[in-house]
Amino acid sequence: MFADLHLHTHFSDGTFSPEEVTERAAKAGLSALALTDHDTVDGCQRMEAACLEKGIEFIPGCEFTVEQGGNELHLLGYCFNLKNVHLQATLRKYQEVRRNRVHEMVVRLNGQGIPLKVERVLELADCEAPGRPHVGRALVEGGHCYTLDEAFRRYLKKGRPAWAPKAKMSAAEAINMIHVAGGVAVMAHPGITRMNEVIPDLVAVGLDGLECFYTRHSTSMTEHYLMCAERHGLLVTGGSDCHGDNKGEPLVGRVKLPYEFVKKLKSVAAAMV
Ligand code: AMP
Ligand code: FE
Ligand code: FE
Ligand code: ZN
């Protein structure tokens, strides 16, 4: 039995619906799935229903952008209570941050002579977690760029004219919020973030796990992080980070996490509340 614990849908910056992701995961033979949209849990109810229909176990999740020691990293929260008021309030706050940031990026594009409208970006996003990919789609739609990749390279990447900073929680704040909601906190794609030196600091503020298995982790990276998890007594997770078909080929099921790790994750989460 295998799981994919890192998936996105159109409730944030993926292109698939929860039903489409689940359908593809079923075809890939997966037994458990976690939805980890950025700054929203709005897709969880539909994904849970789709999983139930396919006989797949569903794990609620979310991906948070946080700051640790002046650097940005991503934290995955799992197995929390979706109705927790602290979680809900935090999500609402960062969804507002995202809308304001879209506004800021559009103003910057307007300053570059590109007549884009905030309303159109939010319409295209059609979710509570609008971001750069949606601004990029609007740029392509308006004929200002040929592809989403070009939109990122020319305008949206850090250092490019439309990039705007995003207000972030501290890692400690996010980990605490996840714990209060009964969940576990996992550092996402450590091999991509490349901030190994912050792992002990994250452990000190309550980090529970490391995403050792990841699409863009080499075998040696995976081995490195498995040892690191063992050394710090951390849970091991893994996922594909599928965003649908907007970044090449769909990745769902590309990472197959052995189910024993899901079992451990759930037992630690069960002890949280
Ligand atoms: P944001 O959270 O608004 O800063 O947007 C970050 C998201 O943009 C990431 O999660 C990716 O889904 C997406 N992204 C980053 N770089 C690219 C790229 N070159 N092409 C397409 N999507 C990208
Ligand atoms: Fe993303
Ligand atoms: Fe991420
Ligand atoms: Zn992700």
pLDDT in tens, 114-129: 999 999 999 999 999 9
Q: Which residue has the CA at smallest separation from atom 6 of ligand 1? A: 132
Residue 102: domain span? 96-156
pLDDT at position 121: 98
Closest ligand 1 atom to Cα of 13: 12
In a domain, 239, yes or no: no
Which ligand is nearest the CA of 193, by number? 3
Residue 229, pLDDT > 80, answer: yes
Question: Residue 139's domain is classified under what CATH number?
Answer: 1.10.150.650
Please report whether residue 32 resides in a domain.
no
256 lines ligand 1 (CB under 6 A): no
Nearest CA to ligand 1 atom 23: 133
pLDDT for 249:
80
pLDDT tens-place string over residues 154-196: 999 999 999 999 999 999 999 999 999 999 999 999 999 999 9
124 within some domain: yes
For residue 266, pLDDT over 70 is answered with: yes
Backbone angles phi, psi at 242, to 5 degrees: -65, 130
pLDDT digits (tens, 9 = 90+) for 21-73: 999 999 999 999 999 999 999 999 999 999 999 999 999 999 999 999 999 99
Radius of gyration over alpha carbons of the chain, in Å?
18
Ligand 3 center to residue 189 CA distance, Å?
A: 7
What residues pack around ion ligand 4 (CB closer than 5 A)?
63, 241
| Mutational pocket test of ligand 1: of 98, 132, 134, the residue with most ligand atoms within 8 Å of the beta carbon | 132
Q: What global pTM score does this model have? A: 0.96
Mean pLDDT score, 97-111: 98
- Number of structural domains the chain divides into: 1
Task: Looking at the CA of 61, name the nearest ligand.
Answer: 4
Helix, strand, coil fractions of the chain, as percent rounded to 5? 45, 20, 35
Kindly report the protein residue whose alpha carbon is nearest to atom 10 of ligand 1: 13
Query: Mean of the per-residue pLDDT values for the chain?
Result: 97
* pLDDT exceeds cutoff 70 at 9: yes
Angle formed at CA 188 by CA 25 and CA 32, multiple of 5 degrees = 25
Q: Is 10 in the pocket of ligand 1 (CB under 6 A)?
A: no
CB atoms within 10 A of CB 98: 25
Distance CA 11, CA 226 (A): 31
Q: Which two tokens stand for residue 55?
A: 């006989």
* Cα-to-chain-centroid distance, residue 93: 17
Give the number of the atom of ligand 1 that is nearest the alpha carbon of residue 131. Answer: 3
Label residue 244 by pLDDT band (50, 70, 90): very high
| Measured distance CA(9)–CA(168) in Å, rounded | 22
Within a domain: residue 121?
A: yes
| Contact status, residue 206 vs residue 179, Cβ threshold 8 Å | yes
pLDDT in tens, 201-224: 999 999 999 999 999 999 999 999
Residue 127 lies in a domain: yes
Position in ligand 1 atom list of the atom nearest CA 65: 2
The pLDDT score that the predictor gives to residue 273 is: 73
Note whether 14 and 38 are within 8 A (CB).
Answer: no
Atom 13 in ligand 1: residue holding the nearest Cα? 133
- Enter the tokens of residue 137: 């789609």
**Ligand 1 center to 131 CA (angstroms):** 8
Least Cα distance to 184 among 174, 194, 192, 198 occurs for: 174
- Which atom of ligand 1 is nearest the CA belonging to 152? 19
Cα(267)–Cα(244) distance, integer angstroms: 30
Query: Hey, what's the torsion of the CAs at 81, 64, 228, 240, to 10 degrees?
Result: 90
Q: Is residue 209 part of a domain?
A: no
Whether 125 maps to a domain, the answer reads yes
In a domain, 131, yes or no: yes
Q: Scanning the structure block, which residue is given the tokens 């307007």?
A: 110
Summarize the confidence of residues 4-33 as an average pLDDT.
97
